[in-house]
């Protein structure tokens, strides 16, 4: 079936994010879907002083910090820590006061519920603090695109992509493609491929390396953005095109019976 020229078959399986390039994407589309969010932001908050300044970082150094920080504050906290700790040293406030450790709750796809992988959540927190929300005005949608791009990259890339200089675990760590930004799916597919259970040292080190991989990719994107060279890759408008928030590979969960949402009148 076709909706806005995009057939459901294009958003199936590995089609994750392929074929989405034709979708209209931008602040206008998003504002249409999240009118109330847009309005709430426009009013402003009492302590809303953002976005915050950014200076380019070294992706490899950032990945090393993230890898080690995973063993302290897990995936989401480690991505945030790897970048904000360095910006705290280079820039100072407001980074020095950011409560990094409070984001330990992102572990296990948010307190063990296996929803979005914490490293994706942490990356979106970082990119939005630095660039601003996707609804903030002309040009700023690139911030959201960096966050969305991480979700896309995470879903499509055999992970872990980054190997630490001195890994704590010396056995080979399998690389798996999740086709999903979700912790549950990502960890589950890796456990199936590797045979290691959730509590194993190997699974923990795998997640630490995935965290390092996301931090590495995020700094690459932020550096390109800082240089004015970032090119939006993730263009995905599920609300406008399907009437529901979603990751792109509908069939991964629904099989061939993808339900349709009530669409707003055009």
Q: Could you list the residues that contact ligand HEC (CB under 6 A)?
A: 11, 238, 242, 244, 246-250, 252-254, 258-261
Cβ at position 29, least distance to ligand HEC in Å:
15
Contact 143, 51 (CB under 8 A): yes
How far apart CA 94 and CA 87 sit, in angstroms, is 9
Of 163 and 260, CB closest to ligand HEC: 260
How far apart CA 220 and CA 214 sit, in angstroms, is 10
Cβ at position 245, least distance to ligand HEC in Å:
9
Cβ at position 56, least distance to ligand HEC in Å:
35
How far apart CA 17 and CA 28 sit, in angstroms, is 20
Sign of the torsion angle spanned by Cα atoms 57, 153, 48, 96: negative
Cβ at position 118, least distance to ligand HEC in Å:
17
Cβ at position 260, least distance to ligand HEC in Å:
6
Of 6 and 37, CB closest to ligand HEC: 6
Contact 45, 251 (CB under 8 A): no
Burial of 67 (C-beta count, 10 Å sphere; 0-12/13-18/19+): buried
Of 88 and 114, CB closest to ligand HEC: 114
Residues 6+ apart with CB under 8 A from 65: 78, 81, 82, 85, 86, 215
Of 9 and 140, CB closest to ligand HEC: 9
Of 11 and 173, CB closest to ligand HEC: 11
């Amino acid at each position: 079936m076709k909706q806005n020229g995009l057939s459901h078959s294009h958003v199936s399986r590995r089609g994750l994010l392929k074929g989405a390039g034709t979708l209209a994407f931008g602040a206008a589309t998003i504002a249409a879907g999240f009118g109330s969010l847009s309005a709430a932001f426009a009013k402003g908050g009492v302590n809303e002083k953002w976005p915050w300044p950014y200076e380019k970082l070294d992706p490899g150094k950032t990945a090393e910090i993230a890898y080690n920080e995973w063993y302290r504050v897990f995936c989401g906290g480690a991505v945030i820590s790897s970048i904000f700790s360095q910006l705290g040293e280079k820039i100072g406030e407001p980074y020095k006061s950011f409560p990094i450790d409070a984001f330990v709750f992102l572990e296990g796809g948010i307190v063990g519920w296996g929803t979005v992988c914490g490293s994706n959540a942490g990356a979106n927190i970082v990119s939005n603090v630095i660039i601003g929300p996707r609804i903030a005005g002309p040009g700023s949608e690139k911030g959201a695109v960096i966050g969305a791009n991480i979700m896309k990259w995470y879903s499509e890339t055999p992970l872990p992509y980054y190997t630490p200089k001195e890994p704590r675990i010396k056995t080979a760590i399998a690389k798996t493609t999740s086709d999903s930004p979700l912790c549950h799916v990502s960890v589950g597919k890796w456990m199936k491929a590797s045979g290691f259970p959730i509590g194993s040292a190997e699974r923990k080190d795998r997640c630490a390396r995935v965290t390092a991989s996301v931090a590495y990719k995020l700094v690459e994107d932020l550096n390109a953005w800082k240089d004015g060279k970032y090119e939006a890759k993730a263009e995905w408008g599920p609300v406008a095109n399907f009437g529901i928030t979603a990751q792109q590979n509908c069939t991964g969960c629904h099989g061939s019976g993808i339900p349709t949402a009530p669409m707003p009148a055009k």
